[in-house]
């Protein structure tokens, strides 16, 4: 039998498997699953079908027939966020499965890797490195590794393209003369490349942690500013909106409530709607469970009302 005949036979077999599942379960959910996860969805459903058909029906209707059909967040963003969440949770099998799905939804190999590298801030470089290795292996298997190796940033990153004068114009207005003086003092002490990014992207957060480190360990604070705000956040491979939604997803998966609220506010300041944040939260029920997501929805509702953006939570038209 030739390779072409084998492929045709495999395609016929897959078509028969799909038809059997569509006859038994919700056909639209099966179609959606095949759209999102063409490589492994059939195996996943058949395994569940073998052990508990009632649970399989309920699971399909909740996920591929329900959550993953919602219009509040595009598939590319949702899948990039879920990649970061599965990595944070240590669910590496599911993490690997999500990578081809994100590519199919329009993410580039470099964007997938960037989500993993940015997660270093939240989960450490050991877990992030493990995820990067898995990502590289997936790209090798798909014949797309060159889309990573040939799209690297220069050794100096984006630094040569940045300008303090230009970035100052993007800073939120200081709330008081004292805050203006604080900014200038911290900038003078630790350099503008990290401090400027922090002011631009996270000015809504308290400065208490910075002030504490400035007092007890300024050397570490300098390293922190340089690595996170001077190097990682300004890389520009993914936009601020996607990066902040990723942060929301990771903090939710890790059940870290303080930074979760901070990053919900940050996402809404840097391009995300309250509805898009809500979609990250409700989609996370499939991965992180409902207790944390229920509490997070209440936090989002409070923030949206405080920021006079509650109208954004209105459900989109079907």
Q: How far apart are CA 306 and CA 255, in angstroms?
A: 23
How far is Cα 88 from Cα 98, in angstroms, rounded to an integer? 14
Which tokens in the block code for residue 178?
Answer: 């004292």
248, 260 Cβ separation under 8 angstroms: yes
Cβ density class 155-191: b for 16+ within 10 Å, e for less: eebeeeebeeeebeeeeeeeeeeeeeeebeebbeebe
**CA distances in angstroms from 270 to 186, 200, 242, listed in the order given:** 23, 10, 9
Contact 52, 84 (CB under 8 A): no
DSSP symbols for the chain: --HHHHHHHHHHHHHHHHHHHHHHS-HHHHHHHHHH-TTTHHHHHHHHHHH-HHHHHHHHHHTTTTGGG-SSS-HHHHHHHHHHHHHHHT-HHHHHHHHHHHHHTT--HHHHHHHHHHTHHHHHHHHHHHHHHHHHHHHHHHT-THHHHTTPPPTTTTGGG--HHHHHTTSPPPSSHHHHHHHHHHHHHH-HHHHHHHHHHHTTS-SHHHHHHHHH-HHHHHHHIIIIIIIIGGG-SS-HHHHHHHHHHHHHHTT-HHHHHHHHHHHHHTT--HHHHHHHHHHTHHHH-HHHHHHHHHHHHHHHHHTT-GGGGSPPP-
Is the backbone of residue 309 left (phi > 0), alpha (psi -120 to 50) or beta? alpha
Q: What is the pLDDT of residue 298?
A: 94
- C-alpha to C-alpha distances, 285 to 163, 223, 260, 304, nearest whole angstrom: 42, 36, 15, 20
**All structural domains of the chain:** 3-59 (no CATH), 75-153+237-313 (1.20.1290.10), 159-233 (no CATH)
Q: Using the structure block, give the residue that is written with the tokens 């970061």.
A: 84
Contact 301, 237 (CB under 8 A): no
Could you tell me how far CA 95 lies from the centroid of its own chain?
Answer: 12
Q: For the whole model, what pTM was predicted?
A: 0.91
* pLDDT tens, per residue, the chain with 318 residues: 555 555 555 667 789 999 999 999 999 999 999 999 988 899 999 999 999 999 999 999 999 999 999 989 999 999 999 999 999 999 999 999 999 999 999 999 999 999 999 999 999 999 999 999 999 999 999 999 999 999 999 999 999 999 999 999 999 999 999 999 999 999 999 999 999 999 999 988 889 999 999 999 999 999 999 999 999 999 999 999 999 999 999 999 999 999 999 999 999 999 999 999 999 999 999 998 888 899 999 999 999 999 999 999 987 655
Output the pLDDT for position 165. 96
How far apart CA 17 and CA 5 sit, in angstroms, is 18
Q: Provide the 10 A C-beta neighbour count for residue 232.
A: 18
């Amino acid at each position: 039998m030739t390779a072409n005949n084998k492929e045709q036979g495999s395609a016929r077999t897959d078509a028969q498997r799909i038809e059997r599942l569509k006859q038994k379960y919700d056909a639209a959910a099966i179609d959606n699953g095949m759209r999102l996860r063409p490589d492994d969805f059939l195996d996943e459903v058949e395994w569940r079908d073998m052990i508990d058909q009632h649970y399989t029906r309920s699971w399909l209707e909740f996920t591929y027939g329900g959550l993953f059909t919602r219009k509040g967040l595009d598939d590319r963003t949702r899948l990039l966020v879920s990649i970061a969440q599965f990595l944070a949770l240590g669910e590496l099998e599911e993490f690997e499965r999500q990578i081809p799905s994100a590519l199919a939804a329009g993410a580039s190999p470099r964007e997938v890797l960037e989500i993993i590298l940015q997660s270093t801030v939240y989960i450490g470089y050991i877990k992030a490195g493990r995820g990067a290795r898995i990502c590289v292996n997936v790209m090798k298997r798909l014949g797309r590794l060159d889309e990573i190796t040939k799209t690297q940033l220069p050794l100096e990153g984006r630094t040569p393209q940045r300008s303090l004068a230009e970035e100052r114009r993007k800073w939120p207005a200081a709330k008081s003369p004292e805050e203006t003086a604080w900014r200038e003092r911290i900038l003078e002490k630790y350099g503008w490349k990290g401090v400027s990014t922090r002011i631009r992207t996270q000015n809504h957060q308290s400065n208490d942690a910075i002030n504490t480190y400035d007092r007890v360990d300024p050397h570490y604070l300098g390293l922190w500013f340089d690595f996170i705000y001077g190097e990682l956040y300004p890389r520009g491979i993914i936009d601020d909106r996607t990066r902040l939604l990723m942060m929301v997803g990771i903090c939710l998966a890790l059940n870290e409530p303080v930074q979760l609220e901070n990053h919900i506010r940050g996402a809404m300041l840097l391009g995300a709607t309250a509805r898009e944040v809500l979609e990250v939260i409700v989609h996370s029920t499939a991965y992180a469970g409902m207790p944390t997501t229920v509490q997070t929805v209440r936090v989002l509702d409070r923030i949206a009302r405080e920021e006079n953006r509650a109208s954004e939570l209105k459900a989109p038209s079907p």
